């Protein structure tokens, strides 16, 4: 069937508008429905079937013409490369998410390889280090001299106080328990998360974070050392008590070393310097030695 024949089936001229085609087909459709009601015959008549075929043919041709005109508008400027431009555009349109997904997978693979290599390099670096003598976490209002919060200078200075030691590692989280900025909130959240995952030997605390951390039950009771090993070394008020919660009760959980001249040599600004020992530390002897060394330096 050609376009001229299709219009003839509908009884319309070839230049008939889309609206005229729709109205004429609606007319034939109503006639067909009336015929079926009057005759009781639900089968489609051959004449109406031809009319429907002609109607659909005209609509398909109009759609093809519309697509052709649109393509001409979009790709006509490429002239003899119009076909290639259309194919590229269709590819981008229909496969852009597939392409983006593939690129994302490639990026994740590259990231994974890079992370694995970095992990192996870090493992090799750690394996080459001497054994750990003490690992500490500074929590509270502590600040390095250059405010970069890097602990290398503090570690070096502290290591110089213990000639027999080879390695000291510290982590510094500076925050207030009365947050005044988004940074304070963020650091407090980070500290809470690290308390659940990290296991330092000692905690270096200020006057706010000492009772806060003691309440968690994570600190070792030091009462026996205060009465014995440290008894002759302790200045007044250097063994403050705090609550260890319902499970552990009130005890000495930290020793205030703020007045020690050796602590004064550490390149860090501090309000107090209270050292507590983690209850399950694997290096409790070294932690006790650290406290004792700084106490002995107090005149």
Query: Residue 174 has what pLDDT?
Result: 87
CA–CA gap between residue 277 and residue 219 (Å, rounded): 6
Q: What is the pLDDT of residue 42?
A: 77
Q: Give how many domains the chain has, as a whole number.
A: 2
In a domain, 242, yes or no: yes
Q: Which domain holds residue 164?
A: 132-296
CATH number of domain containing 234: 3.40.190.10
Give Rg (Cα) of the chain: 42
Angstrom CA distances, 120 to 106, 123, 137, 198, 296, stand at 21, 5, 25, 21, 42
Domain annotation covers residue 292: yes
Residue ending a domain, among 62, 81, 100, is 81
Instruction: Note whether 7 and 66 are same-domain residues.
Output: yes
Q: What is the pTM of this model?
A: 0.60
**pLDDT tens readout for residues 6-19:** 888 888 888 888 88
Q: What is the pLDDT of residue 91?
A: 56
Taking CA atoms, 253 is separated from 183, 203, 281, in Å, by 28, 10, 14
* Structure confidence at residue 233 (pLDDT): 96
pLDDT at 71: 60
Do 188 and 268 lie in one domain? The reply is yes
Q: φ, ψ for residue 147 (rounded to 5)?
A: 60, 20
Both 42 and 148 in a single domain? Answer: no
Which CATH number belongs to the domain containing residue 15 in this structure? Answer: 1.10.287
Q: Which of 48, 65, 81 is the last residue of a domain?
A: 81
Q: What is the mean pLDDT of the chain?
A: 86
Show the low-confidence residues of the chain (pLDDT under 70): 68-96, 125-126
Which pLDDT belongs to residue 77?
A: 54
* Residue 20 located in a structural domain: yes
Whether residue 50 is found in the same domain as residue 181? no
């Amino acid at each position: 069937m050609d376009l001229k024949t299709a219009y003839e089936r509908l009884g319309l001229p070839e230049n008939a508008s889309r609206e005229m085609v729709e109205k004429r087909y609606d007319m034939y459709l109503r006639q067909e429905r009336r015929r079926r009601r009057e005759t009781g015959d639900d089968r489609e008549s051959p004449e109406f079937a031809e009319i429907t075929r002609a109607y659909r043919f005209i609509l398909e041709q109009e759609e093809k013409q519309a697509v052709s005109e649109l393509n001409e508008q979009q790709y006509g400027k490429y002239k003899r490369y119009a076909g290639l431009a259309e194919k590229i555009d269709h590819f981008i349109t229909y496969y852009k998410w597939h392409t983006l997904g593939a690129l994302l997978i490639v990026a994740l693979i590259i990231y994974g390889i890079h992370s694995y290599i970095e992990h192996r390099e870090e493992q090799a670096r750690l394996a080459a280090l001497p054994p750990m003598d003490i690992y500490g976490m500074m929590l509270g209002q502590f600040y390095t001299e250059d405010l970069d919060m890097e602990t290398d200078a503090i570690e070096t200075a502290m290591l110089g106080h213990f000639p027999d030691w080879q390695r000291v590692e510290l982590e510094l989280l500076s925050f207030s328990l009365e947050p005044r900025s988004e940074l304070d909130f963020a650091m407090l959240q980070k500290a809470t998360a690290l308390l659940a995952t990290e296991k330092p030997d000692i905690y270096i605390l200020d006057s706010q974070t000492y009772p806060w951390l003691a309440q968690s039950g994570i600190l070792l009771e030091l009462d026996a050392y205060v009465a014995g090993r440290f008894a002759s070394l302790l200045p007044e008020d250097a063994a403050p008590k705090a609550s260890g919660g319902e499970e552990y009760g009130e005890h000495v959980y930290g020793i205030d070393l703020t007045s020690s001249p050796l602590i004064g040599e550490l390149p860090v600004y501090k309000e107090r310097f209270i050292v507590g020992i983690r209850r399950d530390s694997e290096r409790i002897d070294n932690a006790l030695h650290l406290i004792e060394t700084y106490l002995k330096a107090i005149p």
